[in-house]
Amino acid sequence: MSREKDREMLAQELEDVALVLAEYCMEYQPWERKSAEDGLFIHTLDAELDRLQVTCEMLGFSAFSTVLAWEQDNAKLLEPSADTWSARFWDEELVYHWLELAASYLLNTDEADMMVAIREALQHEAWIVPLPDSTLKDLLMELCLDVSCQTAPDVKDDAAPEVHTREPTYPLDWDNEVHPELLQAFFQETPAKATALAKLLRDLMGKDADAASTPDKKKEQYEEAARLAHTLKGDSSVIGLEVVSRFTHRLEDILEASRKKPLPRAIQSDLYSAADCLESLFSALQGDCDPPSNYPEIQQNLDRWWQEQSSPQAQVQTQAQVQPPEPSSPTPETPKSSKNRSPRNRPLQKPVTSKRPTVT
């Protein structure tokens, strides 16, 4: 059987399972059901994914099989209770949407947009257990390549811009063995995400940030910034772009830490500088400028601050700041008066001396 036939067979199985799960969700609405029906849905999902895994193993799609096992692990972590279903998990149709996308791409590999959509669906924050970057990379490579002929392509021929000619003091480059379609998808979507994250960092870390935003809006901005940093980290890791992956990973760590306590002014200044640095990194990747010379210093500052915050002493201080103090036991009041006091316990009375007229 040719590899093309294998891809067609897998695509058909993916479409069938996606259709079953989509119809089940629409008919039974598992996010609104009681625990018994929730358990039935998890059983149905598990059985359908098992069926897909058998097909993947038979056809030699090992990366697909690994991702299917990961999805099963996520489903098992959803407790069978209506209160614990993640609304976003179902609203985004994550349980079957990526299967539909993968089936479409297997049948039409010319659509780079489909590759981006698959990556975003599998990196969605509603998954309980995030998909490891290495597993995602293996899946995307398996989608791109004919497994019977996995020769390393020359990824820099018309796939993406060349890095600027001046040699930086750090390696700003991607993996030489990454597939051109992965690079095309990366440069099609990721620079815009970097620009959006840089803007949020400036808005949040600027001198007038507190005056220009309400607490609720600021919270939303921090969450969106952390989400973008997480996505950029994953996107960069897929193509082996270690500098950007490390940089955005640390940005994500610090932005997540800001939910527990306000960031000090010093690290806010570094994050503000990181916004310009991030944009310059992507401009350099697209050949528009030299790599930013201040990247090593900013990365070092961010790493140093994070290591200090990760120390046991800092964690104890953070926990003490987050947890409210325990209420002290009320002191019993001393009664002001009592008619039943014994003479021994009564307060001493000051003797009263009456003045008598002097008899002469």
Q: Is there a contact between 89 and 126 (Cβ–Cβ < 8 Å)?
A: yes
Are both 10 and 123 inside the same structural domain? Answer: yes
Structure tokens at 61: 């799609």
Structure tokens at 136: 């995602």
DSSP states along 51-118: HHHHHHHHHT-HHHHHHHHHHHHHHHHS-SSGGGS-HHHHHTTHHHHHHHHHHHHHH-TT-HHHHHHH
Are both 132 and 191 inside the same structural domain? Answer: no
- Domain containing 73: what range? 3-144
Are both 21 and 82 inside the same structural domain? Answer: yes
DSSP states along 142-189: HHHS-TT--PPP-TTSSSSPPPPSSPPSS-----TTS-HHHHHHHHHH
Are both 308 and 188 inside the same structural domain? Answer: yes
Residue 161 lies in a domain: no
pLDDT-based confidence at residue 32 (cuts at 50, 70, 90): low
- Return d(Cα 266, Cα 298) in angstroms, integer: 12
pLDDT-based confidence at residue 247 (cuts at 50, 70, 90): very high
Are both 8 and 140 inside the same structural domain? Answer: yes
Q: pLDDT digits over 133-177, tens only?
A: 889 989 998 988 654 344 433 444 444 555 444 455 788 988 888
Are both 8 and 68 inside the same structural domain? Answer: yes
Q: pLDDT digits over 260-274, tens only?
A: 788 888 899 999 999
Q: Which of 88, 87, 56, 85 is nearest to 69 (CA)?
A: 56
Structure tokens at 308: 């200090």
Is the pTM above the cut of 0.85? no
Q: What is the pLDDT of residue 324?
A: 52
For residue 23, give every residue at least 6 positions away whose Cβ sits within 8 Å of its Cβ, in sequence order, or none: none
Rounding to the nearest 10 degrees, give the CA dihedral for residues 96, 99, 101, 104: -130
Residue 197 lies in a domain: yes
- pLDDT over 90 percentage in the chain: 39
Are both 139 and 191 inside the same structural domain? Answer: no
